[in-house]
């Protein structure tokens, strides 16, 4: 369902401009330079939604820097306001598409990439748009340090099966695979908005960690 345009969206985004990266391409050769303490480990979230996950994760790990991408401005405004209200200095936002990252010249910059409940692009002809397709795995591999990890969650079984095959074909190592995360007893999970909704409906959540 398409979200309605938020009232005063541009003004609200402007009020949070200190945690929004105006032009991410200015940091194409050094992502860490976005932060006042660039020496800290760096993690990315691709598609942060309303920001619950990235805000809670940044609270939990204050010695890690986080950059969250969200292309839908009506959703992004809620995420940046949430992080702003939390007074966090270790999270920044990009209100745009993660495809920018394909043109980055920096390498081995990130410790971890989070992809939570991304668009499954269900039709086969759109498979190359999936964030776990080999086209994107090449991008994530370049950005991640050796041994860096991609943490992936979805409610879509078909996408999860596709992703497991994609990771395997790419030669990546998988760990902590779960076909029903909330029944697995796995500790340390931070839920997204979608995850909370799906869990309330009794839907299984699929999760895995991928080592590059």
Query: Catalytic residues, which ones?
Result: 119
How many beta carbons lie within 10 A of that of residue 73, not counting itself? 16
Among the listed residues 27, 160, 16, the one whose alpha carbon sits nearest the alpha carbon of residue 78? 16
Complete DSSP assignment for 106-133: --S-EEEEEEES-----SGGGGGGSTTS
Rounded CA separation 15/20 (Å): 10
DSSP 8-class letter at 204 = -
């Amino acid at each position: 369902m398409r979200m309605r345009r938020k009232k005063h969206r541009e003004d609200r985004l402007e009020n949070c401009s200190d945690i929004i990266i105006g032009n991410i391409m200015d940091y194409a050769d050094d992502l860490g330079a976005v932060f006042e303490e660039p020496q800290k480990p760096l993690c990315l979230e691709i598609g942060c939604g309303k920001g619950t996950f990235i805000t809670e994760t940044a609270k939990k790990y204050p010695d890690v820097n986080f950059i969250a991408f969200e292309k839908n401005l009506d959703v992004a405004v809620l995420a940046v306001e949430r992080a702003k209200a939390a007074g966090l200095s270790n999270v920044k936002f990009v209100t745009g598409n993660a495809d920018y990252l394909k043109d980055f010249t920096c390498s081995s910059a990130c410790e971890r990439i989070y992809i939570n409940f991304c668009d499954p692009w269900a039709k086969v002809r759109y498979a190359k748009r999936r964030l776990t397709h080999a086209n994107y795995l090449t991008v994530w591999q370049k950005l991640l340090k050796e041994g860096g990890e991609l943490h992936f969650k979805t409610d879509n079984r078909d996408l999860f099966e596709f992703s497991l095959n994609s990771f395997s074909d790419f030669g990546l190592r998988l760990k902590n695979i779960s076909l029903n995360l909330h029944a697995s007893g796995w500790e340390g999970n931070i839920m997204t908005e979608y995850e909370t909704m799906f869990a309330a409906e009794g839907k299984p959540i699929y999760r895995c960690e991928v080592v590059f």
